[in-house]
A and B are shown apart, each in its own frame.
Chain A
Amino acid sequence: MATIHVDGKTYEVNGAHNLLQACLSLGLDIPYFCWHPAMGSVGACRQCAVRQYKDKDDNKGVLVMSCMTPAADQTRIDIDDEEARAFRASVVEWLMINHPHDCPVCEEGGHCHLQDMTVMTGHDRRRYRFNKRTRRNQYLGPFIAHEMNRCITCYRCVRFYNDYAGGTDLGAFGARDNIYFGRYAEGALESPFSGNLTEVCPTGVFTDQSHSDHYTRKWDLQYAPGICHQCAVGCNISPGERYGEIRRIENRYHGEVNSHFLCDRGRFGYGYVNRADRPRVPEWTERPGQEAVTLGVDPALERITGALRQARRIIGIGSPRASLESNHQLLAMVGPENFSTGIESREQACLAMMNRLQETSGLPTPTPREIERHDAILVLGEDPVQSAARLGLNLRQAVLSRREELAEQIGVPAWNAEAVKTLGQDRYHPLHIVWPAPTELDSVAVARHALAPDDIARLGFAVAHAIDPAAPPVDGLDPASQERAGEIAVSLLKAARPLVVSGGSLASEAILEAAGAVARALSRRAAQGGLVLIRREANSTGLSLMGGQTLDWALDELSEGRADAVVVLENDLYQRLPADRVEQALARANTRVVLDHQRTRTAEGADFILPAASFAEGSGTLVNLEGRAQRFFRVFEPAYLRPETRIHESWRWLHTLAAGLRGEAPGDISLDLATRACAGAHPGLAGIVDAAPGPDYRIEGLRLAREPQRYSGRTAMRANLDVNEPRPPQDTDTPFAYSMEGYSGFDRPRQQIPFAWAPGWNSPQAWNKFTDEVGGHLRGGDPGIRLIRPQPGHREYPDPVFDDGATDSSGLRALVLPRVFGGEETSARAEPVRQRMTAPVVILARPDAEALGVRDGDSLTLLGVREGDSLMLFGGPDITVSEQEDWPPGWAGLPAGLLPGLGQGATLTLGKPTGGES
């Protein structure tokens, strides 16, 4: 701690900060541009000038840049100094000299940091009479719009994109006042974190293209605290709604999970919520192949109850992308003995093992933010950037943090970004990646070992053995691998805080056991390590804590005639298991009820579709990969602007349906009751009740406002339907109001913040007002509650067990590689993500390619897939061949989402496309 004196008042601040950060943390306003809490100071914009005095007797002082001055003890500064103020006003004035006169047609307008700072410094007239510099724009892909005229050359974009996120295709070009920020040639930005440029850029150079396509100003959006459903990290988001559509996703600050940044899948993958083909009213197909008829709520429920009552046995298939509440209502309706999680068996086994390891491996699971403080990392059989992108960014920071350590040794503060970067050069904390395909993190890794799944597990066990000789040795390991294992073990042992990252992407229990063994070995060597296990979907962890049979079991029950009705909850079964198997099982059922917010293949084959709420219209609880239960809240009431819609949360549908099946009148159901029912029924989930405040939560007697105070058009947006305005929807489930009336301030600490705004701070920089210290934690505490805690106790190493390593000579085995864009079912339905999906590629080892008679760049067609004893024939799409030097032979790497239902390790028959098709 340090004591500083600002404008004659004395404050206690964190001495490791710079003055700007310290003052902002105190709630004092100093304008700034180039500084960012996550990226430190470079002193480029000269905006944060304050007057600093040597001591008590110094009454002259000098102007200093507060971002470049340490908050040392007994520092004396004046923010409200006349010359400093004039200086800051001049800086804004000259930044505005070339600023185009286009705020009205700028997507940044209304949440623009430059606007805020201009107002804060008081500049309002352009005195400069000469011409403005202009610059051309570039096409930067479906995510980011580019308008270079607005640039104020703060360099934040390249500092984030290149230095922080490791992108390589954005740069600063030119010299002196002729600076250009863009790509060397037009084209989509490659980094999966490019979306953060929209929040990092203090003005409108980089704006959200997906938002621009249906643009609404920040003040006109209705928000609720959301949780991203696109992967298992559980990033906190602020979805903004207008006219019944989600218009944009903004980062919602969470001190432990996502802090300032999101990945592009989460930010731009919301489009599926707005799809025109979404089911919005219950639908009934009397006989397969017939046209579906729409039904009202009551007739639909009556018909479904009637049909389900005739069934001998109803199977309920849950979903790892649905909330805990919905899954529990389904489980309660069909009974635990008839409930399936909807997860394929190998994945479910992996999930169960990950939960077990998280409790018993001996190493705790760090939060994403804590990951950044680890100093040696082993990524075993996982590609974090593709499968849980936000974690990839955290891992990158962990690797880069070596620089800060080096800087500390010579007394350079960590926030002095350029100095730290120059000092560090390419000295990183060791990162070992064991993964067959190239990853985004390769550039900062010591090495990437491209191995087949079983070999990954072998290497893992070998590392464990090298760390702790008590761990079982691996038989028959080649000397090269032995050596690698030794290297990895040494670097992990040298570290103070080693981290093991693994996950279920390859659906291999052996890899997870190996990662567990490494973790166990590390824990025995008394290092302060961590173990991160990556799950695939938003609620995979939660559903595995709830438990249930596998999807394979559920399909068997159906296809073998032990059950004749099935209720599928927000799950497209065709994404999980081969189509013929799903089709066959569903065809045997007499009644198929599907609740979903998407028109999936499963939904299309159903007798009944009930329109379920997506994250935008519904509330519920998810558990992320660190075991943190987090609640997401409904953003808007769809029936307000589209009165014909009958979208309800699945838990509400299922509760009513269950009552109907019992022949009772539906009792009360609310989010609170649904959450409590779930928590009460599953001891592992008992904590979820406390994940967020209940509907009675009030601040100063007020509900929390979903809309900013300036929300416009209330009396006109619905007037085309009826000039008589109905009462705004009332929300009895949550503490939020569908109104601007309610608490939306920052001075009362709270966890649930639909949107960040503070007087004078309209941009995302307003989050600084909600945190205990800038870049720290929310003053009300970071939301969510951790459910999985390490259990004390000594545990034995498992004996290495490997999948059958036997290569099927009849063809190559599929290695499904996770991918950010297109690898997840719902976001793949969003238009900008579809555009951003890479062309289908099959990665082959050179010998395999030669055997098939193809070379890099040629096309192949998938002719058939054999998995166990099921054989599927494709006339599939052409796939480009990518030969890779170190690719494990016998395997064919295919991107996830390309062939839905394709399981890891399935045998593929590949062939050249028939010539006639060209």
Chain B
Amino acid sequence: MRKNKVLSVLWLIPASWSLLRTMWMVFMHGFRKRETVNYPEEEVYLPPRYRGRIILTRDPDGEERCVACNLCAVACPVDCISLQKGEKDDGRWYPEFFRINFSRCIFCGMCEEACPTSAIQLTPDFEMGEYQRQQLVYEKEDLLINGPGKDHDYHFYKVAGMAIAGKDKGEAQNEEVPEDVRTLLP
């Protein structure tokens, strides 16, 4: 052991080599391709699932998808979504107003995850700078688009049991025709 103690300084050799190698490797990084994208001169590639500006989509029939269930609002960690449920004559729910305060939004995507109808979606667009903060408050007119967004097929009311115009009880997915309570036939 005593001998080893003197020799123990020998760890300096591999350690020094390791340091030098590290330095060399880092140095050689100076000649690699840059990761930085020189935005705005260069265009940024944003993947389709990038979490940017929030939109409200429409179902394949062109109706508003949002049913004002409030789940996005409650999922929002910064509480920047507020809306009010309204009801059309046929029983369909829709948001009377739908407001997102983008000056508070952190683009976490929780609202999209919570949305049971694929109505609220985040898009690959982050260019939302404004000189007036008030302009960052988006109302439904600013949010609603004319398409289904990323989810092309989902149609909430085709799945849900509630009757609306054009889809009576029993016409949703996996539904029997409504029961006739006046019959005793099996």
Which positions in A face B, CB cutoff 8 Å? Answer: 99-105, 109-110, 130-137, 147, 149-150, 173-175, 178-180, 212-217, 219-220, 243, 710-717, 719-720, 722-724
Question: What is the bound-complex CA distance between A72 and B78, given in angstroms?
Answer: 51
Contact with A along B159-177 (1 / 0, CB 8 A): 1111100000110111111
**Could you tell me if A134 and B81 are in contact, using CB atoms closer than 8 angstroms?**
no
- Is residue B7 within 8 Å, beta carbon to beta carbon, of the partner chain? no
User: Which of B82, B103, B161 is within 8 Å of A101, CB to CB?
Assistant: B161
CB-based nearest A residue for B82: A713
**Could you tell me if A717 and B82 are in contact, using CB atoms closer than 8 angstroms?**
yes
- Is residue B87 within 8 Å, beta carbon to beta carbon, of the partner chain? yes
**Could you tell me if B161 and A713 are in contact, using CB atoms closer than 8 angstroms?**
no
Contacts of A100 in B (CB 8 A): 160-162, 172
**Could you tell me if B71 and A720 are in contact, using CB atoms closer than 8 angstroms?**
no
CB-based nearest A residue for B170: A134
- Is residue B107 within 8 Å, beta carbon to beta carbon, of the partner chain? no
Q: A215-B85, A712-B81, A714-B79 are in contact. List 15 more A-B contacts (CB 8 A).
A: A100-B161, A101-B161, A102-B160, A103-B116, A131-B176, A134-B179, A173-B181, A178-B179, A178-B183, A713-B83, A715-B79, A715-B80, A719-B82, A719-B101, A723-B137
**Could you tell me if A104 and B116 are in contact, using CB atoms closer than 8 angstroms?**
yes
**Could you tell me if B176 and A713 are in contact, using CB atoms closer than 8 angstroms?**
no
Interface pairs (25), CB distance under 8 Å = A100-B160, A101-B160, A101-B161, A102-B161, A102-B162, A105-B160, A109-B69, A130-B174, A132-B161, A132-B175, A134-B176, A134-B177, A135-B179, A147-B162, A149-B161, A173-B182, A174-B179, A215-B87, A243-B84, A713-B76, A713-B79, A713-B83, A715-B79, A715-B101, A716-B100
Contacts of A130 in B (CB 8 A): 174
Q: How far is the CB of B102 from chain A (nearest CB, A)?
A: 9
User: Which of A99, A213, A217, A720 is within 8 Å of B74, CB to CB?
Assistant: A217
CB-based nearest A residue for B72: A712
Contact with A along B26-44 (1 / 0, CB 8 A): 0000000000000000000
Contacts of A150 in B (CB 8 A): 161
**Could you tell me if A219 and B179 are in contact, using CB atoms closer than 8 angstroms?**
no
Question: What is the bound-complex CA distance between A57 and B37, given in angstroms?
Answer: 74
Q: A104-B67, A220-B74, A720-B139 are in contact. Are A133 and B179 (CB under 8 A)?
A: yes
Q: A105-B69, A134-B170, A713-B81 are in contact. Are A722 and B161 (CB under 8 A)?
A: no
- Is residue B128 within 8 Å, beta carbon to beta carbon, of the partner chain? no
**Could you tell me if B137 and A719 are in contact, using CB atoms closer than 8 angstroms?**
yes
Q: How far is the CB of A144 from chain B (nearest CB, A)?
A: 15
Most buried by A among B69, B116, B134: B69
**Could you tell me if B133 and A724 are in contact, using CB atoms closer than 8 angstroms?**
yes
**Interface residues of B toward A: which range?**
35 or more
Contacts of B178 in A (CB 8 A): 134-136
Question: What is the bound-complex CA distance between A642 and B46, given in angstroms?
Answer: 41
Contacts of A137 in B (CB 8 A): 163, 169
Q: A100-B160, A132-B176 are in contact. Are A716 and B82 (CB under 8 A)?
A: yes
Question: What is the bound-complex CA distance between A207 and B171, given in angstroms?
Answer: 23
Contacts of A714 in B (CB 8 A): 79
Q: How far is the CB of B124 from chain A (nearest CB, A)?
A: 23
Contact with A along B53-95 (1 / 0, CB 8 A): 0000000000000011111011010111111110100000100
Q: How far is the CB of B133 from chain A (nearest CB, A)?
A: 5
Question: What is the bound-complex CA distance between A472 and B116, given in angstroms?
Answer: 74
**Could you tell me if A135 and B169 are in contact, using CB atoms closer than 8 angstroms?**
yes
Contacts of B83 in A (CB 8 A): 713
Q: How far is the CB of A125 from chain B (nearest CB, A)?
A: 14
Contacts of A178 in B (CB 8 A): 179, 181, 183
Q: How far is the CB of A712 from chain B (nearest CB, A)?
A: 4
**Could you tell me if B104 and A716 are in contact, using CB atoms closer than 8 angstroms?**
yes
Contacts of B169 in A (CB 8 A): 134-137, 149
Contacts of B163 in A (CB 8 A): 137
CB-based nearest A residue for B171: A134
Contacts of B100 in A (CB 8 A): 716
Q: How far is the CB of B181 from chain A (nearest CB, A)?
A: 4
Contacts of B67 in A (CB 8 A): 104-105
Question: What is the bound-complex CA distance between A134 and B162, given in angstroms?
Answer: 10
Question: What is the bound-complex CA distance between A414 and B80, given in angstroms?
Answer: 51
- Is residue B10 within 8 Å, beta carbon to beta carbon, of the partner chain? no
Contacts of B121 in A (CB 8 A): none
Question: What is the bound-complex CA distance between A724 and B116, given in angstroms?
Answer: 31
Question: What is the bound-complex CA distance between A175 and B186, given in angstroms?
Answer: 9
- Is residue B143 within 8 Å, beta carbon to beta carbon, of the partner chain? no
Q: How far is the CB of B131 from chain A (nearest CB, A)?
A: 13
Contacts of B174 in A (CB 8 A): 130-132
- Is residue B6 within 8 Å, beta carbon to beta carbon, of the partner chain? no
**Could you tell me if A133 and B104 are in contact, using CB atoms closer than 8 angstroms?**
no
User: Which of B99, B134, B162, B173 is within 8 Å of A149, CB to CB?
Assistant: B162
- Is residue B136 within 8 Å, beta carbon to beta carbon, of the partner chain? yes
**Could you tell me if A713 and B160 are in contact, using CB atoms closer than 8 angstroms?**
no
- Is residue B184 within 8 Å, beta carbon to beta carbon, of the partner chain? yes
Q: How far is the CB of A178 from chain B (nearest CB, A)?
A: 5
Q: How far is the CB of B73 from chain A (nearest CB, A)?
A: 4
User: Which of B82, B84, B182 is within 8 Å of A214, CB to CB?
Assistant: B84
Question: What is the bound-complex CA distance between A178 and B81, given in angstroms?
Answer: 42
**Could you tell me if B99 and A716 are in contact, using CB atoms closer than 8 angstroms?**
yes
**Could you tell me if B79 and A723 are in contact, using CB atoms closer than 8 angstroms?**
no
**Could you tell me if B133 and A723 are in contact, using CB atoms closer than 8 angstroms?**
yes
Question: What is the bound-complex CA distance between A173 and B4, given in angstroms?
Answer: 94
**Could you tell me if B104 and A710 are in contact, using CB atoms closer than 8 angstroms?**
no
Q: How far is the CB of B77 from chain A (nearest CB, A)?
A: 10
Q: How far is the CB of B120 from chain A (nearest CB, A)?
A: 12
Question: What is the bound-complex CA distance between A174 and B169, given in angstroms?
Answer: 19
CB-based nearest A residue for B181: A180
Contacts of B82 in A (CB 8 A): 712-713, 716-717, 719
**Could you tell me if B176 and A133 are in contact, using CB atoms closer than 8 angstroms?**
yes
Question: What is the bound-complex CA distance between A643 and B170, given in angstroms?
Answer: 48
Q: How far is the CB of B152 from chain A (nearest CB, A)?
A: 20
**Could you tell me if B117 and A720 are in contact, using CB atoms closer than 8 angstroms?**
no
CB-based nearest A residue for B69: A104
Contacts of B104 in A (CB 8 A): 715-716
